[in-house]
Amino acid sequence: MRKYLRHFTHLTLTLSALMACDSGDITPRKGEPTLVCGGFAGLECPGDLVCVDDPNDDCNPYKDGADCIGYCEDPGPTACGGFPGTPCPEGQVCVD
């Protein structure tokens, strides 16, 4: 009986370790840079993405200017409608 219990315990621990491994999902997590932009080459972001400074490097865009590399990120939701009737960006619909 002890032998079976020991094997069951080892099997349980092994399966637990395997289940804790990374699933191989390569989708970027929030805050992880995906596309590089800016720098001396002036690389632009595709589509509606905006170029933001990479806070993890030693380059200061206010000091070093256009030589700083950044990364592209989604600008997030924009405000539209309301009292002034601000229009939505192209391709979007304002929902009150």
Residue-wise pLDDT tens digits, 53-64: 888 888 887 886
The residue among 46, 33, 43, 47 whose CA lies nearest residue 91 is 47
pLDDT at 19 over 60: no
Residue-wise pLDDT tens digits, 21-76: 544 444 455 655 468 898 888 899 998 888 988 888 888 878 866 688 888 988 87
What's the token pair of residue 36?
């590089």
Domain ranges within the chain, ordered by starting residue: 31-75
Cβ-proximal residues to 96 (8 Å cutoff; 6+ apart), any chain = 81
- Total-model pTM: 0.46
Of residues 19 and 72, the one with the higher pLDDT is 72
Mean pLDDT of 12-28: 53
Contact 35, 49 (CB under 8 A): yes
Residue-wise pLDDT tens digits, 79-94: 777 777 788 777 777 7
Contact 75, 50 (CB under 8 A): yes
